[in-house]
């Protein structure tokens, strides 16, 4: 094993240790873990840029929670924790059980140190995997735990759509930060990257995720069909993440 490979393995072990050091039961716990990951990830690791975007989104969601924004704060809080758990599980599995890593996450993990990619590409590839694959599963799990049904025009769905506004605002702020040289992108022409990532919309992704959650909810009495749907979703999201991680000239 080379020193570089050994170092990467040690770093990955450290990430798993950060995630599993204590139970994650609140939004504050989620933020604590993400801050720990941010401190452990170096700037040449593409996972850092997804984690940073996700951290800022979660902090904004927590601020909205403190301001009394939510119609069903218990649902939104549990969803935030359950949702983050899928990301944390993917990182832990990468080190401890690679065969269990979802296909949706594999492109980002494979490309973490690929040269020629902009930080925003890593960030959006992570958001793509997390929203399009993990979020439908998290909505279903949260609704099951709270004995709720994921339906449109419910307090839960209205809170869900409010998060869309938060995400779009934070995404725009972080994208500007990535593009102005504060993360090592000085003097780089990002127009080709802008053309690539413009095809991906966080609002549309979350709308699709809610629809997929409703489908999964309807299939919960048919486990084979639900499993087939999840497998197809996992594969499709993996392919779109690969597209976001294309090196552009």
**Integer Cα distance of 158 and 148 in angstroms:** 14
Convert the pLDDT of each residue in 67-112 to its tens digit: 889 999 999 999 999 999 999 999 999 999 999 999 999 999 999 9
Task: Give the DSSP letter string of the chain.
Answer: --HHHHHHHHHHHHHHHHHHSS---SHHHHHHHHHHHHHHS-TT-THHHHHHHHHHHHHHHHHHHHTT--SSHHHHHHHHHHHHHHHHHHHHHHHH-GGGS-TTTHHHHHTTT-TT--HHHHHHHHHIIIIIIIHHHHHHHHHHHHT----TTSHHHHHHHHHHHHHHHHHHHHHHHHHTTTTS-TT---HHHHHHHTT--HHHHHHHHHHHHHHHHHTTT-HHHHHHHHHHHHHHHHHHHHHHT----
Q: Does 184 score more than 70 pLDDT?
A: no
Predicted confidence at residue 16, as pLDDT, reads 95
> Angle of helix 155-179 relative to helix 202-218, nearest 10 degrees?
140
- Smallest CA-to-CA distance from 84 within 150, 140, 20, 130 is with 130
Q: Does 5 score more than 60 pLDDT?
A: no
Average pLDDT of the chain to the nearest whole number? 88
**Integer Cα distance of 153 and 175 in angstroms:** 31
Predicted confidence at residue 10, as pLDDT, reads 57
Using alpha carbons only, what angle is made at residue 209 by residues 41 and 244, rounded to the nearest 5 degrees?
A: 50
Convert the pLDDT of each residue in 119-150 to its tens digit: 989 999 999 999 999 999 999 999 999 999 99
**Integer Cα distance of 220 and 227 in angstroms:** 9
Q: Does 155 score more than 90 pLDDT?
A: yes
Higher pLDDT, 193 or 37: 37
Number of neighbours of residue 22 by Cβ within 10 angstroms: 10
Q: What percent of the chain has pLDDT over 90?
A: 72
Q: With b meaning 16 or more CB within 10 Å and e meaning fewer, what string describes 142-167? A: bbeeeebebeeebebbebbebbbebb
Convert the pLDDT of each residue in 219-228 to its tens digit: 999 999 999 9
Higher pLDDT, 50 or 174: 50
């Amino acid at each position: 094993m080379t020193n570089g490979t050994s170092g990467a393995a040690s770093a990955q072990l450290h990430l798993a240790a950060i995630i599993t050091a204590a139970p994650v039961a609140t939004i504050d716990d989620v933020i604590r873990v993400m801050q720990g990951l941010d401190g452990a990830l170096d700037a040449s690791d593409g996972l850092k840029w997804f984690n940073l975007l996700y951290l800022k989104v979660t902090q904004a969601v927590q601020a909205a929670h403190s301001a009394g924004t939510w119609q069903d704060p218990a649902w939104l809080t549990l969803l935030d924790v359950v949702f983050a758990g899928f990301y944390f599980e993917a990182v832990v599995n990468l080190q401890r059980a690679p065969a269990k890593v979802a296909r949706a996450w594999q492109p980002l993990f494979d490309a973490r140190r690929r040269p020629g990619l902009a930080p925003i590409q890593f960030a959006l590839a992570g958001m793509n995997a997390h929203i399009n694959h993990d979020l439908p599963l998290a909505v279903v799990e949260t609704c099951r735990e709270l004995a709720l049904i994921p339906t449109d025009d419910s307090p839960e769905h209205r809170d869900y759509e409010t998060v869309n506004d938060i995400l779009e605002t934070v995404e725009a702020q972080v994208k500007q930060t990535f593009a102005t040289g504060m993360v090592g992108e000085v003097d780089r022409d990002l127009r080709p990257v802008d053309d690539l990532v413009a095809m991906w919309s966080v609002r549309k992704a979350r709308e699709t995720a809610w629809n997929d959650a409703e489908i999964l909810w309807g299939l919960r009495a048919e486990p084979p069909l639900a499993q087939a749907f999840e497998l197809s979703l996992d594969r499709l999201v993996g392919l779109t993440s690969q597209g976001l991680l294309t090196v552009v000239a």
